[in-house]
Amino acid sequence: MPIRTNGALRRLQAMLIGLGLLTTIAAAVAHEGHDHGAPPPAAVTTNNPRVTAQSDAYELVGILRGDRLGIYLDRFTSNEPVTDARIAVTVGGSEEVQAEAADDDGTYTVTSAKFAGEGPLELIFAVTAPSGDDLLIGTLHLPGKPVATAPAPARGTPLQVLQSTPTVKLGGIEVSTPYMIAGVALALGFLLGLAARRRRKLVPMAGLALVALVVSTAYAFAHEGHDHGADAAKAALPAGDTPRRLPDGTVFVPKPSQRLLNVRTTVTKPEEAQKAVRLIGRVIADPNRSGLVQSINGGRIIAPEKGLPRLGQTVRKGDVLALVEQAVPQADRTTLSERVGEIEQEIAVAETRLKRVRQLSDRGVAPPSQVTDAEIELEGLRRRREIVRQTRIEPEVLRAPIDGTIAAARVVPGQVVASQDVIFQIVDPQGLWVEALVYGEIDPAKITGASATAVDGTSLKLTFQGFSKALQQQATVVQFAVESPPGNLSVGSPVTVFAQNGASVRDIIMPRDAVVRGANGEAVVWRHTDPERFEARPVRTEPFDATRLVVRAGVAEGERIVIRGSELINQIR
């Protein structure tokens, strides 16, 4: 007699679908209370509770360490510490405590027994300072007291594990989730056994259902106790009061670190100023305050009694710098020797004549005037002999033409120099100019002001002197005088000149130190968003002068931008 299996097969499929749903519900119950959605943005975690408050005048951060609250008071606009303020703190609306100045850097401390509590604590700070009085209000969230937690269940026998698992209420009766799943598994096994006896074709399907049941049961047990591999792999934010970069790209810099880094800010606002054009230049000496020392005829260098001057030595006008022994040709030497011999012969004749005239004068035969004429003639011959001798042996004396500093010295004792060789260069350190080349960027006649930046970043204030009417290397030469040049500025140093041509611009102008290079190479500034948080903002800039830039895009009016310490903040990781 044929066996009708269609009805049994349909009933078995319905039981398997129901079992799948029941298993899914069991897994959800085992993981009840956990929603794996998108994680919210991570907040800054620190070891010490904090209170922040700010107004248009001041910015305050309080850091609790034990029972002592450290207060950091800064100016809101510049982030400069307020060192001359008096702060009265109202704790919890009833207790008023006067803060004590802990240091001269704008740090104050206050102590209260209420800091030992837990939960939110309202604080009111009454600031009295010469720059203005203000009232700041903030909330200090005190941490809760540690609570003893139940020990985690030990991994024992399977029966102990089943007894420690969560329960589910069915019809008012609490049933352990593993027990419920095990009972369903037994019932399914019984039904599949009956079906297998009647139809062996159902055995593969029964095996597949059992595998699905085991996987679902394992998933439920794996979620019991919340032992997740994915959750364990999530990296938590490092807690502490150290500067660090947060996952959203912002940088957390505690107030104590801001004091060490000397961070300063400014509130942006549009300004109107003259546009500048960048030029390439170099430092030259003022023509009226510099000089060169050269030999007229050349010869061999001889050091004076005090030695040759060294580089950087200060000299006065007329100081002897070196001696040059002139090179006399052999023909000239012969001529000089012959001339000396003739003069000595004339001297001998003059001495004999003087002796005879004196004898005649003593006898009264010759007048005394003849004696005087003979003496004068003899003295003149002796001077001529000395001049000829000096011409042959006396070296040339090289003296300093101006007061200044030895900028270049290119000789040593015994060196032979020619007449066109520069032996010393003397420069007045306070008389330096800058020479720049203009290739048609601007009209040199319309330059109204200029500044420059040296290689080491030193800014120079320039005064326009004039420009050439003849082109050099297809460019017009423009010269500026350096006002109060720094001591490390040298002749020949390259500089970048920013010349103002009279065209006005109206935009946000910021110091060059405010703009730094980000990790991807783009120009960024750091915006002070919160008392202890900074955000990088990409910007587009144009040169303005030696110390400032024009921000064309990326910064809006009224934002607080770091103008000092931005390079240090940019390096925090």
Decide if 322 is inside a domain. no
Share of the chain above pLDDT 90, in %: 23
Residues 134 and 177 placed together within one structural domain of the fold: no
Decide if 209 is inside a domain. yes
Give the count of beta carbons closer than 10 Å to the beta carbon of residue 76.
19
pLDDT band at 178 (very low <50, low <70, confident <90, very high): low
Residues 448 and 528 placed together within one structural domain of the fold: yes
> At which of 394, 419, 441 does a domain end?
394
Among 4-8, 422-426, 449-453, which is the least confidently predicted range?
4-8
477-491 average pLDDT score: 88
Q: Is the pLDDT of residue 526 over 90?
A: yes
Residues 131 and 63 placed together within one structural domain of the fold: yes
pLDDT band at 149 (very low <50, low <70, confident <90, very high): low
Decide if 11 is inside a domain. yes
> At which of 232, 248, 269 does a domain end?
232
The pLDDT assigned to 321 comes to: 92
The pLDDT assigned to 368 comes to: 83
The pLDDT assigned to 519 comes to: 83
pLDDT tens by residue, 102-139: 877 779 999 988 888 888 989 999 999 998 999 999 99
The pLDDT assigned to 364 comes to: 79
The pLDDT assigned to 147 comes to: 62
If you write DSSP's letter for every residue of 293-323 in order, what string do you get? EE-SS-EEEE--TT-PPPTT-EE-TT-EEEE
Share of the chain above pLDDT 70, in %: 73
pLDDT band at 78 (very low <50, low <70, confident <90, very high): very high
Decide if 239 is inside a domain. no
Residues 363 and 470 placed together within one structural domain of the fold: no
Confirm if 284 and 491 have CB atoms less than 8 A apart: yes
Decide if 441 is inside a domain. yes
Count structural domains, the chain.
Answer: 4
Residues 353 and 480 placed together within one structural domain of the fold: no
Question: CA of 146: how far to CAs of 64, 143, 395, 540, in Å?
Answer: 18, 9, 96, 51
Residues 446 and 547 placed together within one structural domain of the fold: yes
237-243 average pLDDT score: 63
User: Which CATH number do you get for residue 269?
Assistant: 2.40.30.170
Residues 440 and 524 placed together within one structural domain of the fold: yes
Q: Is the pLDDT of residue 166 over 80?
A: no
The residue type at 347? I
Decide if 108 is inside a domain. yes
The residue type at 543? P
Residues 450 and 549 placed together within one structural domain of the fold: yes
Residues 485 and 446 placed together within one structural domain of the fold: yes
pLDDT tens by residue, 319-360: 999 999 877 666 666 777 778 888 888 888 888 888 888 888
The pLDDT assigned to 359 comes to: 84
Residues 442 and 331 placed together within one structural domain of the fold: no
Residues 26 and 84 placed together within one structural domain of the fold: no
pLDDT tens by residue, 198-224: 544 444 444 444 444 444 444 444 444
How far is Cα 226 from Cα 153, in angstroms, rounded to an integer?
A: 13
Q: For residue 170, give its domain range.
A: 6-33+150-232
pTM of the model: 0.55
How far is Cα 185 from Cα 19, in angstroms, rounded to an integer?
A: 9
